[in-house]
Every structure is written in structure tokens, then in C-alpha cells.
Amino acid sequence: MWAGVEALSLGCGGISTLSLSTGLSRTTVSRGVKEARFESNLPSDRIRKEGGGRKRSEILDPTLKEDILRLVTPDTRGDPESLLR
């Protein structure tokens, strides 16, 4: 959205200028322009759209928890309250 506001303030050719000067893709700047123009349509309690952002590690690797426990278990020495766990 910031890039969109800046591109709008530059006027004609603002998307290209901002894209070249910041290294952002034209698509990203164009999307920011669209969001800046229709700011009232954005939900106030969210930063990103639903489903946006990095996926949880547990979803990407379902065996992650078991793998970590298998690595840590030899060092816990039977203490279930160990900070290592």
C-alpha cells in the first residue's frame, strides 16, 4: 500500500519510476495503487489477506515435531519439564 501511495503521488509514470527506484515489481506497485485507491474496502483488523503470509512449519513438514523430539529425547534424561523440551 505504501508503494501505491508513493506511485500515486508521483503522477503519470509513477509505477514505473517507483518500481525502478525501489526494486519492487510493477505488479506489486500496481496492487498497492489499487489498495490505496480503495482503502475503505480493506478489513481494519487484518494486515494481509486471509491465507497470506508464510505457512506454518508443521503444515509444510508434518513429521517435524516427531523429528525434533527424536533429536532432543536422548538429552532430556527423563525430566519431562526440561527446558530442552
Domain contains 7: yes
DSSP output for 5-33: HHHHHH-TTHHHHHHHHH---HHHHHHHH
- For residue 23, give its domain range: 1-45
Residue among 9, 7, 27, 8 at smallest CA distance from 17: 7
Domain contains 30: yes
Domain contains 72: no
Domain contains 85: no
Q: What is the pLDDT of residue 38?
A: 78
Domain contains 12: yes
Domain count, the chain: 1
Domain contains 56: no
Domain contains 37: yes
**Each residue's pLDDT expressed in tens, for the chain with a length of 85 residues:** 788 888 888 889 989 998 898 998 999 899 888 888 876 565 667 666 677 778 889 899 999 989 988 887 766 666 667 665 5
pTM across the whole model: 0.46
Domain contains 36: yes
pLDDT, tens only, 13-36: 989 998 898 998 999 899 888 888
Q: What is the pLDDT of residue 77?
A: 64
